[in-house]
Amino acid sequence: MSTKKEVKREFYDSGKLKNETYYKNNKEEGLKTTWYENGQKMSEAYYKNGKEEGLETKWYETGERGSETHFKNGKREGLETYWYKSGEKWLEFTSRNGKKEGLETSWYQNGQKKEEVPFKRGKIDGVLRVWYENGGEKCTKNFKDGTEHGTRIEWDENGNKIYKANFVDGHTE
């Protein structure tokens, strides 16, 4: 049985390289790289037998790292991280078999924590917490299997409680 290997390249109208993909037996295999028209690398991903495998990295057009995502057999698997253009972390979570699992955390550009969202098998499950950019608590919500269930409390930017309710299966009691 022969193995057919090839490289396919796509170009912008300007003639500059847009992407380069390696193939084996007509399936993506190895490195796939994409560039912005200005020549800056846009993304780099690895493939095995036509499915994404390993680390995928994306960059902003200005060259700053934008995200890193891990894949296994074509599905998101492991840590996924996103950054603002300024380099500060924006979002981070873990996936298992293509679904979010554990705590997803996001931050404001000033580095202050913005949200914590707990996931279980791809659904929000547990206490979701949100903060104002000044660090004050904005709200807490309880979820069970993707549906709001339990106490929700909201505060204004001065720390005054402005709302409290109990939810059962997504509806207030």
The confidence score (pLDDT) of residue 94 equals 98
State the average pLDDT over residues 39-53. 98
What is the spatial distance between Cα 25 and Cα 27, in angstroms, rounded to a whole number? Answer: 6
Judge whether residue 152 has pLDDT over 70: yes
Mean pLDDT rounded to a whole number for the chain: 97
CA end-to-end span of the chain: 67
Buried b / exposed e over 121-130, threshold 16 CB at 10 Å, is eeebbbebbb
pLDDT-derived band at 173 (thresholds 50, 70, 90) equals confident
Q: How confident is the model at residue 171 (pLDDT cuts 50, 70, 90)?
A: very high
Residues forming a β-bridge with 81? 68, 92
Residue 96 confidence (pLDDT):
97
Q: How far apart are CA 144 and CA 151, in angstroms?
A: 12
Q: What distances in angstroms separate CA 14 from CA 18, 28, 61, 69, one per listed residue?
A: 10, 26, 17, 30
pLDDT of 17 > 90? The answer is: yes
pLDDT confidence of residue 46: 98
Q: Residues 6 or more apart from 113 whose CB is under 8 A from it?
A: 105, 106, 107, 131, 135
pLDDT above 70 for 53: yes
Q: Taking 70 as the threshold, does the pLDDT of residue 74 lie above it?
A: yes
Supply the pLDDT for residue 3.
82
Among candidate residues 35, 34, 21, 75, the one with its CA nearest the CA of residue 53: 75
Q: Evaluate if residue 1 carries a pLDDT over 70.
A: no
The pLDDT tens digits for 93-146 are 999 999 999 999 999 999 999 999 999 999 999 999 999 999 999 999 999 999
Judge if pTM exceeds 0.85.
yes
